[in-house]
Copies of this chain bind each other. A is one copy, B any other.
């Protein structure tokens, strides 16, 4: 299989093991998942998680992932360091870092993070969140993403139940909630890195709340995974139901809470992020 036969997501997540350092991997930014001035934050989160999943000492599956966007990532080569800093009987704690060489050849850290992986056992389980009301995907019109001017949006099929991208910037916003169906535009079976990426798919809530296109960007995102390989396999390349809403907007930063559900009604991931905005 040639590289071009791979799914764009797998091409973006292709990492080469360092010959001498088991914690180190090397990659390259993807034009397919480019945002306005750097990679889509979701693809960066997925890349850091992929480095964990590729590590020879990995224990279990992802439970929590925090990614901090410390500085812009330039188009080109990068290195990811995933260090299993503490391995217990059933949990493992990871330090994560993405860096690039600047023009003087000095390593600059642009992204930091932590992750927890764990061996999970079957226990009493319960959902205390209600699944959002939603029209069926086939009854929900697809978003026209072709005019949005950023590449990564084209990689997803999105169908907004409510809270679609504002059609006019007239300051008329009244709420900050979006519900949508989403899946990869080119079908791909769901896995943990895809879930990490999709957790960041919701555009900044401040745009919806204000119907005003102020500069905004995610500073830090934390995703909790409530699923496992068997459940992911059942979802396959099916739709996810996503909801995101803003909470507090104050003096340049707001937080948004998000959920990703399977079409069958399982809560696969909950995610929170804090986002910088101007004005």
Contact = CB atoms under 8 A, between A and B. Distances in A.
A209 B127 CA distance: 10
Contacts of A219: 63-64, 91, 116, 118
A44 B116 CA distance: 18
Interface residues of A, number: 61
Contact of A120 (B125, B224, B245, B253): B253
A31 interface: no
Tell me the number of copies of this protein. 2
B70 A249 contact: no
A272 B164 CA distance: 26
A276 interface: yes
Contacts of A255: 224, 226, 270
B120 A251 contact: yes
B209 A128 contact: yes
Contact of A220 (B64, B88, B247, B253): B64
A122 interface: yes
A93 interface: yes
Nearest to A63: B253
Interface stretch (A2-10, A106-114, A150-158): A106-114
26 contacts: A63-B253, A64-B219, A64-B274, A66-B66, A66-B220, A70-B86, A113-B114, A114-B220, A120-B251, A120-B252, A122-B251, A123-B252, A124-B210, A124-B279, A126-B249, A128-B247, A129-B247, A220-B222, A224-B255, A224-B274, A226-B253, A228-B251, A247-B270, A248-B267, A250-B267, A272-B272
Minimum-distance CB pairs A-B, first 9: A70-B86, A70-B93, A226-B248, A120-B251, A222-B222, A125-B250, A66-B66, A248-B267, A64-B220
Interface of A: 63-64, 66, 68, 70-71, 85-86, 88, 91, 93, 95, 109-110, 112-114, 116, 118, 120-129, 175-176, 205, 209-210, 219-220, 222, 224, 226-228, 245-253, 255, 257, 259, 267, 270, 272, 274, 276-279
